[in-house]
Structure 1
Amino acid sequence: MAVGVVVVPGYGDSEPAHWQSFACRRHPQWRRVRQADWERPEVEPWVVALDAEVRALDGPLVLVAHSLGCITVVEWAARRRADVRGALLVAPADTDELPFFADVPLAPLPFPSIVVASRNDPYVRFERAQAFAAAWGSRLVDAGAAGHLNAAAGYGDWPRIGFWLGPWLGTTPGAGAAAGRGVAAVLPG
């Protein structure tokens, strides 16, 4: 059975030049969460929208999230169950100080995951992203000084995500769940 992919953008959606948008154009079979209100995020509607995309797939899946989308995935995982092979959580936003979303859940995820974090992300301190990864049981990838890992930081067409997703999708060798916990550096590309 083929493994489905659900892309989970963050606040404001991912613009056309964002790596998530490039990935969706490269893989038109991937599903992308559509939120009713990208500018005023609320936990419940965002989790419901993610759940709808997950339920539309029949079989195992992989989640590919960015920023507030990462927190949506973690919130969803605390409430729902599905056959998730893994989750790539890139630049998780720290929502504890935001009045419009929930505090970040700090429980282990029920599936393998990788957190990719930058040392100069304006939306989460690296040490906080490290704490998220540890609490979630995620492998941490240190992206160095990579901003918010979005189009503005130079992350448009980013084929490196295939390296991380490959083991979960059964397509290529890479550093997915089989690599275990720990910290790794981002490889170029």
Structure 2
Amino acid sequence: MSKILIVPGLHGSSPEHWQSWLETKLPGTLRIEQDDWATPHLPRWAGAIRHELDRAKGHVWIIAHSYGCLATALATTGYQNKVAGIMFVAPADPDKFDVASYLAHEKLAFPSVVVASSNDPWMRLTKAAYWADLWGARLINLGNAGHINVDSGFGAWQEGLDIFEQLRKTQSDLPLGTLDPDFRFDAGKKTPATRKSRQFNQRLQANWHRWLYGDEKPVV
């Protein structure tokens, strides 16, 4: 059975936060707990995530917010056979915490989406686009949505649930381990796994484009 890790940012996520709301909507969720929510210590925060990844029996989805996105990006390095996909919401700017050098500067080995805002005080949209491009993630701009937290009006967040469900549904037919970028994008290999991965990428691109820019929900 798959597990969904909820990874809050600084000071955790209050009961009114959209992450807390998602926990009531998604079965199999587990919230990552930190010893000190007020102190952003990247290796320790990443260690708490890795602890749960190591314990998980099946594949794992991750929904992260703010500084939790940075901890998730670090923690999931080397877990391509365990992580099924990640939804990064309003990532904090790693340069604000001097941790950019710790993070992957290449495509992640699993599907991901970065949900950002045009007026987020913790990450300019151009920086969010930069990291999304590095990670090979789909970028979704919510417009003037602040830090996509309780203060900016994000409690019961149906659109966020829809984004996550679309990411999960589109990827659900892929076996774990086939999303290694060294393997997935090699057009010279004609194995069934690479063909399936290529079909998945084409399908994901088409679905997201229809959903974000068209008039209809994506067809899966």
Query: So what's the TM-score if we normalise by structure 2?
Result: 0.74
Query: Paired residue for 2:130?
Result: 131
Query: Paired residue for 2:178?
Result: none
Query: Paired residue for 1:179?
Result: 204
Once the two structures are superposed, residues 82-124 of structure 1 have per-residue CA deviations (whole angstroms, 9 ceiling, x without a partner) of 422211000010021325xx22622221110000000000000
Contiguous gaps of at least 5 residues in structure 1? none
Q: Distance in 1 between matches of 2:62 and 2:134?
A: 18
Give the AA of the match of 2:150: A
Determine if the alignment matches structure 1 residue 164 to structure 2 residue 166: no
Report the CA distance shift for 1:76/1:85 in structure 2 as closer, same or farther (over 3 A). same
Query: Paired residue for 2:23?
Result: 24
Determine if the alignment matches structure 1 residue 103 to structure 2 residue 128: no
Q: Distance in 1 between matches of 2:160 and 2:56?
A: 21
Identity %: 33
Superposition map of 1:35-54 within 5 A:
35-54=34-53
Q: Distance in 2 between matches of 1:65 and 1:55?
A: 18
Once the two structures are superposed, residues 47-76 of structure 1 have per-residue CA deviations (whole angstroms, 9 ceiling, x without a partner) of 110011222221111110001111111111
When you count helix as a share of all residues, which structure comes out higher? 2
Q: Distance in 2 between matches of 1:169 and 1:58?
A: 18
CA shift for structure 1 position 15: 1.1
How many residue pairs get matched?
A: 180
Tell me how large the CA RMSD over aligned residues is.
2.5
Contiguous gaps of at least 5 residues in structure 2? 173-199, 216-220
Determine if the alignment matches structure 1 residue 6 to structure 2 residue 5: yes
Give the AA of the match of 2:110: F
Query: Which structure has the bigger radius of gyration?
Result: 2
Q: Distance in 1 between matches of 2:108 and 2:50?
A: 16
Query: So what's the TM-score if we normalise by structure 1?
Result: 0.85
Give the AA of the match of 1:33: I
Q: Distance in 2 between matches of 1:145 and 1:23?
A: 22
Contact 1:3/1:169 (8 A) holds in 2: no
